[in-house]
Amino acid sequence: MKNSKKVYIICLVFIGLLLPAFSTGTVGVSAREEIISLDVREADLRDVLSALAIKTNTNIVLIEKPVKVTFSVENVSPMEALDLLLKNEGLSYIKDGKILVVGNEQKLRDVGFTTATLTRFDFIYIRGNQLQTLINTLGIPVKSFVLESNPRSIWVQGTPDDLIKIKELIAAVDIVENFYLDDGEIINFAFKELKTYVVEPSRLVELIKETGIPLNKYVTIGNRLLVFDEAIIESWSQLQRVAMELDRLEGRNKTVFIYRFEHLVAKDAVTRMDSFGYDGLELLAFNFPELSREIIVICPPELEPQIYISLKAIDVAREKIKATITSASGSYAMERLKALRTILTEMSPVISTSMHISENLSGDSANPHYILWAEETPDRIKMLQELVASFDKKKDEAK
C-alpha cells in the first residue's frame, strides 16, 4: 500500500477504566487542500480517529470499547470521512465547539457531556506531581494520579470539557523555562489571574490580542483567565487596566486596535481626540503616556474608519518654538546641563543640535547660572520638560 504510515496513539479516553498498551493498525492518509483519501485495514478505531482529529482540528473522545476497522474512502473532506467511518461502524457523535464525543446514539443521549473519562497526558519538561498540585490550586474538577514509574505523565479523569482545559494548561506550563531536574521540592508555577464579569474570558483574550499584547500562555476556567507568561506578568498592571476597560457590555462587539503616532505622545493625543466627541470611543494609553507614542483604541466597528482618519489628522508636525527646558546654578552647572542634554538625546527623538546651553546669565563667574533650551515643536518641548522633572523626582526620592 502506497503512502502508508503507522499511527501511534499516546493516550485515549474510556469510561472509568484504564486499558493496557494500545494496538496499532496501518493507516494511509494523504491530503491536498482539505481533501483526503483514507485507507485502513484491520486498524484500531482509536488510531483512525486520532488521525482524523488532526485533520479536522478537533478533540475526539471515544466512549465505546475500541474495535478493528477496515475502511476506505477517496477525495472527501476530513469531516465527510469521519461521518462515513462512524456510519459504517454504527456510531455517531455529539459536538460542542472543538470537542467530538463519539459513541452509539443511545449512549450519547444518556451521557451527553457529563461522562467522566480517563486519559493520560505526557510532558517534556515538567513532572506529574507539579501539574497535580497546580490542578488542585486552580480548582479544576477532575481526579488525577501520577505513577512513580513514569513521573513525566499524569492520568486525569473528568468530562471532555475538563480534559480540554487540562490540555490547555499543559500547553501553558510544559515549557523549557519550567524544566524540572530535582526530585525533591515541587516547584510552584507562577501565574496571575483575571476575573471577567461581562465578557467571556475567551472573548477577552481575543480583544487583548487585538491590542497587540502577545498573550499566549494562558488558560480560561469559568470566568477566570489564568496567565502563565512571565513577560506579561512583569507588566501585569498594564494588562489589568486593559482588561478592565474591555470587560464591559460594549466590549462584546467593539473593534480594538493600536495606533502609533509619529509626532504626538499618547497623553496629548488622548486630550486632542476628546474634542471630537465620538460616542463609544475609548482611548487607553500605556504606561508613561507623557513619553509613549502608542494608544489602544476601542470603538464601535462602524466608526473605525472615521476615527482612524481623525487620529491621522491630529498627528502632524507643529511649528517649532524656542523654550526653556531647565536651568542650573553653581560651580558645576555647565557640566550638569551638558550631561542632561546627552541623556535627553538618548531618551527622546530630539537631536542634540536642537538643544542649547546659554551663556552665564548671572554675571557672576563665582556663581554662574545657565539655562538649557531647545528649538522644537511644543509636544517635544513638553516631553523634554517632563523627562527632566522625572529625573528630579527620582533624585528627591533617593534622598
Report d(CA 150, CA 262) in Å as an integer.
Answer: 56
DSSP-assigned beta bridge partners for residue 372: 326, 357
Report d(CA 92, CA 82) in Å as an integer.
Answer: 10
Q: Is the pLDDT of residue 152 over 70?
A: yes
Report d(CA 180, CA 178) in Å as an integer.
Answer: 6
Report d(CA 5, CA 256) in Å as an integer.
Answer: 45
Q: Is the pLDDT of residue 181 over 50?
A: yes
Task: Write down the mean pLDDT value for the chain.
Answer: 78
120: cell is: 493520560
Report d(CA 143, CA 157) in Å as an integer.
Answer: 5
β pairing state of 4-6 and 224-227 = unpaired
The secondary element (H helix, E strand) that includes residue 120 is strand 117-122
Of 55 and 116, the structure prediction assigns the larger pLDDT to 55
Cβ atoms of residues 325 and 337 within 8 Å: no
DSSP designation for 318: P
Between the two ends of the chain, the Cα-to-Cα distance in Å is 81
Determine the pLDDT at residue 396: 62
Model confidence at 262, in pLDDT bands (50, 70, 90)? confident
Give the pLDDT mean for 286-301: 79
Domain boundaries along the sequence of the chain = 4-111, 117-178, 192-314, 321-398
Report d(CA 270, CA 190) in Å as an integer.
Answer: 35
Task: Report the alpha-carbon angle 230-241-226, nearest 5.
Answer: 40
Q: Which fold has domain 4-111?
A: Phage tail protein beta-alpha-beta fold (3.55.50)
CATH code for the domain defined by 117-178:
3.30.1370.120
Cβ atoms of residues 52 and 60 within 8 Å: yes
Of 26-30, 182-186, 242-246, 369-373, the least confident: 26-30
Q: Do domains 4-111 and 117-178 have the same CATH topology?
A: no
Give the pLDDT mean for 108-136: 76
Q: Coil, strand, or helix at residue 22?
A: coil
205: cell is: 483574550
Q: Coil, strand, or helix at residue 182?
A: coil
The secondary element (H helix, E strand) that includes residue 268 is helix 266-274
Report d(CA 49, CA 61) in Å as an integer.
Answer: 9
pTM confidence score? 0.40
The angle, 0 to 180 degrees and rounded to 10, between the axes of the packed helices 304-314 and 266-274 is: 120
Q: Coil, strand, or helix at residue 15?
A: strand
Report d(CA 175, CA 204) in Å as an integer.
Answer: 24
CATH of 321-398, one of 3.40.50, 2.60.40, 1.20.1260, 3.30.70: 3.30.70
Cβ atoms of residues 140 and 154 within 8 Å: no
Q: Is the pLDDT of residue 282 over 70?
A: yes
Task: Give me the percent of the chain exceeding a pLDDT of 70.
Answer: 83
β pairing state of 224-227 and 255-260 = unpaired
Determine the pLDDT at residue 113: 54
Q: How buried is residue 384: exposed, middle or buried, by Cβ count under 10 Å (0-12/13-18/19+)? A: buried
Cβ atoms of residues 197 and 223 within 8 Å: yes
Q: Is the pLDDT of residue 79 over 70?
A: yes
Report d(CA 372, CA 356) in Å as an integer.
Answer: 6
174: cell is: 510544559
The candidate with the shortest Cα–Cα distance to 219, out of 189, 249, 242, is 189
DSSP-assigned beta bridge partners for residue 145: 155
